[in-house]
Structure 1
Amino acid sequence: MSRDVVHRFSKQPAAEIRLVAGLGVEGDAHAGTTVQHRSRVAVDPTQPNLRQVHLIPAELLAELAAAGFEVEPGQLGENVMTSDLDLLSLPRATRLRLGEHAVVELTGLRNPCRQIEDFRPGLLKEVVGRAADGSVVRKAGVMAVVITGGTVRPGAAIAVRRPAGPHVALDRV
């Protein structure tokens, strides 16, 4: 679990985070009903905040370590780290219950930016690649909005509820 009241690339580890419906992570600079990411605010500060919570798979940190990049939880700016859950393959609008009460709805893929390269030179090419068909593959986690608030702690169970209807792949948000 991580959050930070200041806009910076990495977030501070926390023993728990509190998710607030419609806003995001309490005490996090990216919480709000409208977009909070500085680059997006510069374009249109009235657009809805589809990036209230950033989730990243723990397996990515292991993959990065194998490639020679030691990255600690929170350093890629995520709020929640998951394990044994293929976040990137879930459809848009999938709901995840985190712990007993909190529910988030997936809105899209994190679009890795230049800040990742500034954080660790060479890291951007590890989290953005190309599929065999030439399409861009983003591996830096998923973004979500908070549907139901609640406290989330490390090791909390995660229940997955896929949306009805056809599978709509996550795209960058």
Structure 2
Amino acid sequence: MPAITAVCRVARLQPDSGSLGVTAIDKQPLDEPVAVKKTGVYGDIQANRVHHGGPDKAVYAFADEDAAHFGALLGRDVEPGLFGENLRTSGLDVTGAMLGERWHIGESLVVEVTMPRTPCATFARRMREPQWVKRFTTEGRPGAYLRVIKAGPVVAGDEIVVGARPAHGITIGDCFAGLTAEQARDLLEIEREGGFVADPVVKIARKTAAQQLA
């Protein structure tokens, strides 16, 4: 059964050489249950709220299996929170999660998969690895952002039940690698019919569809 293996939130703001001077990427595991609300894990913050956080990026999930892959690549452990994730999962193919699928976590928390994580310069500085953004992108294991459909508590050990999966079949991995013209049209049709598609994904879909017509 898929499960949560760690719940993380910012421990403290850390100095950073970027334009803001600080970063909230330093997430650390919690021992006790914590509430997850529309804005994310209670007590968590984002230093750069232009590119991070918000309802469509309320929670960031990353798989133990993908962490092990990167650990082998880097020759060191990728402990929970190192990549700035809020939830570490086990037994769940996060890259294969479909945009719009819902996860029922623990007793009451319900979240929806919205988009892949885009690696940034802050992430690269945290990792202190040469060409980290390129290397992370090449591996195609970005983790998934989630929006909160129903607030509730979460703690390590909570089971994850994947609800009905959307018929479009477009996964986090597909979106991260680059949408095809057909996938872009499918997502735009869902959005036109009133279905939820995260704004950044809509913008990508529009650009992809426009390039196809050019």
- The reply to whether TM is greater than 0.5 is yes
> Stretches of 4+ moved more than 6 A in 1?
none
Q: TM-score, normalised by structure 1?
A: 0.78
Report the Cα offset of residue 37 of structure 1.
4.0
Aligned CA distance change for structure 1 residues 8 and 140 (closer, same or farther; 3 Å): same
Determine the C-alpha separation between the residues in 1 that align with 2:29 and 2:54: 26
Determine the C-alpha separation between the residues in 2 that align with 1:48 and 1:81: 20
One-letter amino acid of the structure 2 residue matched with residue 119 of structure 1: R
Q: Is the 8 A contact 2:36 2:152 kept in 1?
A: yes
Structure 1 residues 10-19 or 145-154, which shifts more? 10-19
Larger Rg: 2
Aligned CA distance change for structure 1 residues 2 and 125 (closer, same or farther; 3 Å): same
Report the Cα offset of residue 48 of structure 1.
5.5
Segments of 5+ residues of structure 2 without an aligned counterpart are 1-6, 14-22, 177-199, 201-214
Q: Is the 8 A contact 1:64 1:126 kept in 2?
A: no
Matching of residue 38 in structure 1 with residue 54 in structure 2: no
Segments of 5+ residues of structure 1 without an aligned counterpart are 31-35, 42-46, 131-136
Equivalent residue, structure 2, for 1:154: 156
Report the Cα offset of residue 39 of structure 1.
4.2
Q: Which has the higher contact order (CA 8 A, sep 6+)?
A: 1
By percentage of residues, which structure has more helix?
Answer: 2
Matching of residue 25 in structure 1 with residue 41 in structure 2: yes
Determine the C-alpha separation between the residues in 1 that align with 2:62 and 2:54: 22
Match of 1:65 among 63, 71, 89: 71
Q: Is the 8 A contact 1:110 1:141 kept in 2?
A: yes
Q: Deviations along 1:26-71, whole A, 9 cap, x unmatched?
A: 11114xxxxx743437xxxxx9631100000011221122121322
What is the total number of aligned residue pairs between the two structures? 155
- SS of the residue aligned with 2:103? strand
Match of 1:104 among 100, 103, 111: 111
- SS of the residue aligned with 1:50? helix
Equivalent residue, structure 2, for 1:166: 168
Report the Cα offset of residue 125 of structure 1.
4.3
Q: TM-score, normalised by structure 2?
A: 0.64
Q: Share of identical aligned residues, percent?
A: 28
